[in-house]
Each structure stands twice: as structure tokens, then as C-alpha cells.
Structure 1
Amino acid sequence: MREAATLAPHEPVIQLAEAELLLESGRYSEAVRIYEKLHEATEEIAGVRLSSRLAEAYSAGAAYEEAIPFYEALLDKEANPEELFGLGLAYYQTARYSEAVTRLEQLLEMDPDYFSAYMLAGQSYAQQNEDAKALELFTKGIERDEFDKELQLAAGKSALKLQIPQQAEEHLKEALVLDPEYIDALVTLASVYENQEKDEALIDLLTFSEVDQLEIPLLHAFLAYAYERTEDYEKAYEMYFKAYDGMNEDAAFLDQYARFLLEEGKRDEALSIIQQLVRIAPHEEEWTAYIAQSEEEG
């Protein structure tokens, strides 16, 4: 390519080939410079629309504002699924969510099997706090492709925001069936069970997922709470201990841990946790008083 460019540096076809190579290799700004220069003289070379390449190159380099005019110009002439999606993505990335929805729904009318458009349209609605419409788009996408774990997760989270926990649970479970190691879905479903104090379901979920190997302190904390509520205090103690290093800046966790230790008669350990709690939440009067009393008792 370098040799050809040296021999015929002003030949448009050779310049185009160089730009194509740069685009494919991820050197987007260099490709843009060549495409822009060629575009000044013509719209198309060897069947390649330069506006399309400029839109693609700008988007690939995350220059979405610069990509938008090229996508719009292309779509004014002819609607094309790839370019509709590209424009929808560019609108989304520049926080023009209502315009993103318009273009993505236009795309889905043209091609209902353009699966990634369901996710992006739903996310655009969610950014506008239109959670019911977001859930509708995610659900439509799942009807077309029930094996998309990301759509299942997105639908689950939207259902939670709409306070439909049963539907949320169904989607999150399905996401984990598709990928048992899908951490985002696992944490979200565990949070659902914790909020509802569905202890047996929570323990089953996290035991099956081998949470010890995941090293996620929040999940250790959830297990500690569940074991404590089900009066399996030995396992609760083990999980509180495992959760501590990652949760020692979380006042709510420290409060619950301290109360558990006091109930178990582990006063020295409890005092250490309470001192940490007071360091990060100095206005916790109950615990500052407890520390003062402990010091008086010697």
C-alpha cells in the first residue's frame, strides 16, 4: 500500500484503499483525514459512498457529534438499517435520546429482527425515565431472541424500577440460565431476594453460584444476613468475616455486623467494628456512647 501510494500519491482509488486499510486497522483519525479530502471532490469512488465511510469512521473513533451530519445526509436520500442504527447510536451517545428512539423505531419497523436496536431503543427510553416503554422494547426484543442475556437483564432491571418484582425475577433467572456466571444478573437477583428477605432462595442462588470463589463482598454480606435470619449463626459469622474487607466503608453493613457480634457475645470483635463504624459515621450517637461506656469499663 505504501509503495502504491508513493508511485501514485494523487490517485483517488489508491487514496481510498489507504483510508480503507486505516479504518480496518483502527486508525480512525488518519482514515477520516483521507476520506474528508476525497469527499471534497466527490461523493462516491469505486462504489464506496464517502459520506458513509466518514460516518462510520467518526463513530468508530467516538466522534459522534461529527458523525451525525453524515448519517443524516445519507438517510435523507435513502433509509438503510445499518445507517439508521449508526445514527441512533450517535444520538444516544450525545444524549439526544428522543431522536435516538425515533430513528431506532424506524429501523425496527423496517427490520424487526435487528436485535441490537431493541436494546438501544430501550436504553434510550430508560434515560428519559420512561421505564414502561423501555420494558416494552426489551420484552419485544426477547420475543425475537430469547437467548439474549443482556436483554433479559435489562428487562429485569426495568421491571424492578416499575416495582414488578415477579417479572424482574423471571428475567433475571433466565439471564442466569443463559449464563450462570453473569455477575451483573447474579448480583441484581440476589439484591431482589435480599430486599424481600427470601432467605432460602438467596442461599440457594449464592450457594449454587459458588459465591466464595467469586470474591464479591456484597454477596458475602447478603449470605451473612440470610444465614443470620435463618439462625445459622456459624455460617453467618463466616460470611460477615469474608465480607468485611470489601464492606468496611459501608455503615449499614458495619451496623448489622456489630449487632450480630454483640448478640453472639463477641464483644471485643464488636468493639473493633463499632470503632470503624464511628470513624466513617461519627454522628452515630448509639455507637459513640457504646465506645465511651466500654472505655469507662476498662
Structure 2
Amino acid sequence: MSYSKQMLEALSSGDLAQATVYFNEALSQDLPEEKLQLADNLYQLGFLEEASTLFKDLLTLYPDEDSLKISLGEIAIEEDKLEEAFEWLEQIKPSSELYAQSLLTLADIYQMMEIPEVSEQKLKEAKKILPNEPLIDLALGELYFSTESYQNVITTYEMIKETYPTFESPIDLDERIGVSLSRIGEYEEAVTFLESAIKQSETVERLFQLALCYYQIKENERSIQLLTKVSEMNPEFNQVYYPLAQILFDEGRYDDALEVAEKGIHVNPYDVSVYHLASEASYQLNQKDQAKMYLEEVISLELDSDISKLKLAELLLKEEEYEEAIHLVSTLDILDQGEAYWYLAQAYNGLEEYEDAKKYYELAHPYMDIDADFLKDYGIFLREEGQLDKSKEVLQAYLTMVPDDLMIVTMLEE
């Protein structure tokens, strides 16, 4: 039995010391083909240093064997020694039968270095050498997907499906096409491909992507069904809870929305948006203290306190707790923002401190001049203050956004 085989048996039994002895014997005494087989096995097992030693030893015997250089380049990549990988791969000349393979490996390196343009160039050069190799097209498709060039992804993968109908891709092409279509807003078409993908395999990620597409085309019940299935398949998949709770909220199912949001908080206690939704659902259920509690809790986590403070200030205004709202807004990290000024204006208006209210409405206006709710509120305030011309100007701007508000139309006609 060769020393190479004895080393592998020693590794299999966990005897690393004896394996080292056999490795040294194999290096000095085994036949080249035995060393090559051992090197390949060690590479697969993750013993990169020993595999590299064997490949280099063989290269001294066969200096023109480009497959050894590719193997050494791949090991260097695994060890994050990219300069060394370049040195091995660039020794392979265009006349070599393995030149295309070296280009593919170089493309991997450039992608790791976040230089996708050069990676694409290497893949296209390899494609010229091997025009009928779908794996190169697949590599291009994955490069495009990683760089968010979604139209190129769609074109590339549809070409693979049409040109190589029997090609067994390691990547589900329908899933990739479906996700890419969704990223460019083609949700209905995306549904077709993602439905095809889940017929092959119902993975959590596929079901989740499909559910989001159904939500975009307003098929909420189907979206709820799929998202619920995702949460049952993998309760730790924390991305599912916010969209599921939001859709339930949109459907007026506030109890269900709150239940889902609470599960989401349990799985990921740092998801600000889920706290906000739990608060909104609680408020709709007339659980006002609980609505405040969720916002106060997320503020205490200091994750994105200004947004949460503004949410709480909005709630306080609804409850006419004006002084509390003013105090809360005054603690914002960044006061110079439209919503903050608007909430202060509403609070002072509620306290009948009209000069302060006017000041903050004016400060808010440049930030909020495309917000219909603000324009309506500000226009009515100006009218009540007797500033009819200014009020008319603001309310006319509002009507360009909400032309069917009969109350405001009638008000301006008076």
C-alpha cells in the first residue's frame, strides 16, 4: 500500500501524528500519480498547506503542467493570498488548453477584490474560447446578480434556459430571474418564475420573495398565506415578521398584526420597525398605554431614537398631551427636521400658544411643502389666524395633491 493511502487512512482514523509521518514518506517515495491523487484528496479535505507542498513538488517534475498551477492558484485564493494566486495563474499562456479555466479563476479573484468590470472581462474572454460552455454564462449571471445588474441577469439566464434546455444548473434559474424581475418592479412577471421555483423546492427564501411580490400586486391574502408558512417553517427567519404584520394591519386585522409583531420582537428585539407597528396596532385596538410602552421601549434601546420619539410625539398629539409632546421633541438629537417642527406647531396650537405655533409652522413649511397632511393642517391654521391669502396659497397647493377633498374645495369657494 502506498504511503499516500496510508496517510488517508490515518487521517480517517484521526491519527494526525501518524498521518504526518506517512505524508513525509509519500512526499519522498510515492509515484507522481499517487502524489497527485493525495494532493487532490488533501485539498478537498481542507489540508491546504500539505496539498500545496505536493503540487509544488510535482511542478518541479512537470514544470509545464498548467493544471498544477491552477490548483496552486486556487489554494492561494482559499488562503487569501491573492497576489500569489495571480502569480500562478498568469504563468498560464493563451496557447494552453487550460487558459480558459485560468481566466475563470482570475474572474473569481477580481470579484473577490470587488472589481466586477475586470471580472466580467475575464469571463467574456473565456466565453470566446469556450462559446458553448453554460457554466461561463452562469458565472456571468451570478456576477451580474451580485452587482445588481438585474436586466443583465434576466437576459443571461433566459438565454441559458433557451440555449441549454438540458443543462442542470446548480442555481435555480427561475428563482434568480424571479428575484431580478421583482427588483426592477416587474412583480406580476416575477410571480410566474417564483411560483415555478417553489414547485421545484419550497425554500423559506423563495416563499418569502414570492410573498413580497404578491403584496406588491395587492394580492394580500396570498401574501399572508405564504408569509405565515415561512414563519412556521422557520420561526427564526426574523425578516418575515414586519411584512406579515404590516399586511395584516393594512387589512384591518389589528389583533393578528399585534400578535405577529410581538413574535417578531421576541425573535429580534432590535427591529425598530416591528416595535412601531406593534404600537400602531395597539393604538387601533384602543390599548393606548401599550402603544406608548412599545415606543418607550424602543427609545430606551437607543437604536434610532429620533424616529421613535417622533412616533411617540405623534401619539401624544392624538391624545392631546401637548406639553409631553413638546418635552419629547425637545430631546431629539436633530431638532432641525420638518416633522419635529410640525409636531411642535401642533402642540403649541393645541395649547393655544399661537405665536409659537406660527413660528414652528413656518419653520416646518420648507421641509414639508410636498406633504399633503401638513399643507392641509397649516392652511387651516393660517385661515384661523386670519391670514387668508397665505392660507389660500397653501391650501391650493394641497388640492393639487388631494383634489377631491370637498371640505377644502368648499372652504376656498367661500
Tell me, yes or no, if the aligned pair for 1:84 and 1:104 is still in contact at 8 Å: yes
Tell me, yes or no, if the aligned pair for 2:134 and 2:167 is still in contact at 8 Å: no
The reply to whether residue 28 of structure 1 matches residue 140 of structure 2 is no
Tell me, yes or no, if the aligned pair for 1:55 and 1:68 is still in contact at 8 Å: yes
1:216-244 Cα distance to aligned partner (Å, 9 max, x none) = 33123134235x35xxx5xx633421323
Name 1:218's counterpart in structure 2: 342
The reply to whether residue 17 of structure 1 matches residue 17 of structure 2 is no
Once residues 237 and 135 of structure 1 are traced to their aligned partners in structure 2, the CA distance between those partners, rounded to angstroms, is: 40
Instruction: Give the partner amino acid of 1:277.
Output: S
The reply to whether residue 121 of structure 1 matches residue 239 of structure 2 is no
Once residues 258 and 318 of structure 2 are traced to their aligned partners in structure 1, the CA distance between those partners, rounded to angstroms, is: 21
Once residues 284 and 69 of structure 1 are traced to their aligned partners in structure 2, the CA distance between those partners, rounded to angstroms, is: 49
1:81-122 Cα distance to aligned partner (Å, 9 max, x none) = 111111111111111111111111111111101111111111
How many residues are paired up?
269
- In structure 2, relative to structure 1, the CA distance for the partners of 1:57 and 1:43 (3 Å cut) is farther
The reply to whether residue 109 of structure 1 matches residue 227 of structure 2 is no
Structure 1 residue 187, shift from structure 2 partner: 3.1
Once residues 409 and 219 of structure 2 are traced to their aligned partners in structure 1, the CA distance between those partners, rounded to angstroms, is: 43
Once residues 282 and 38 of structure 1 are traced to their aligned partners in structure 2, the CA distance between those partners, rounded to angstroms, is: 58
- SS state of the match for residue 90, structure 1? helix
Name 2:311's counterpart in structure 1: 188
- In structure 2, relative to structure 1, the CA distance for the partners of 1:198 and 1:175 (3 Å cut) is same
Tell me, yes or no, if the aligned pair for 1:218 and 1:243 is still in contact at 8 Å: yes
Structure 1 residue 184, shift from structure 2 partner: 4.5
Instruction: Give the partner amino acid of 2:355.
Output: Y
- In structure 2, relative to structure 1, the CA distance for the partners of 1:21 and 1:43 (3 Å cut) is farther
Instruction: Give the partner amino acid of 1:240.
Output: K
1:168-215 Cα distance to aligned partner (Å, 9 max, x none) = 111222233334755553333212212222233212211112664334
Q: Which has the larger radius of gyration?
A: 2
Tell me, yes or no, if the aligned pair for 1:172 and 1:188 is still in contact at 8 Å: yes
Name 1:277's counterpart in structure 2: 391
TM-score (norm 2): 0.58
Instruction: Give the partner amino acid of 1:220.
Output: L
Tell me, yes or no, if the aligned pair for 2:270 and 2:303 is still in contact at 8 Å: no
- In structure 2, relative to structure 1, the CA distance for the partners of 1:45 and 1:282 (3 Å cut) is closer
The reply to whether residue 97 of structure 1 matches residue 220 of structure 2 is yes
- SS state of the match for residue 95, structure 1? coil
Instruction: Give the partner amino acid of 2:137.
Output: Q
Once residues 258 and 211 of structure 1 are traced to their aligned partners in structure 2, the CA distance between those partners, rounded to angstroms, is: 30
Instruction: Give the partner amino acid of 1:83.
Output: R
Once residues 409 and 142 of structure 2 are traced to their aligned partners in structure 1, the CA distance between those partners, rounded to angstroms, is: 61
- SS state of the match for residue 208, structure 1? coil
- In structure 2, relative to structure 1, the CA distance for the partners of 1:71 and 1:195 (3 Å cut) is same
| 1:130 pairs with one of 253, 258, 262 | 253
Instruction: Give the partner amino acid of 2:243.
Output: L
Pairs within 5 Å for 1:282-297: none
TM-score (norm 1): 0.78
- In structure 2, relative to structure 1, the CA distance for the partners of 1:238 and 1:60 (3 Å cut) is same
Q: Which runs of 5+ in 1 are unaligned?
A: 260-269, 289-298
Once residues 19 and 117 of structure 1 are traced to their aligned partners in structure 2, the CA distance between those partners, rounded to angstroms, is: 27
The reply to whether residue 4 of structure 1 matches residue 122 of structure 2 is no
Once residues 216 and 411 of structure 2 are traced to their aligned partners in structure 1, the CA distance between those partners, rounded to angstroms, is: 42
Q: Which runs of 5+ in 2 are unaligned?
A: 1-122, 396-407
- SS state of the match for residue 262, structure 2? helix
Moved more, 3-12 or 36-45: 36-45
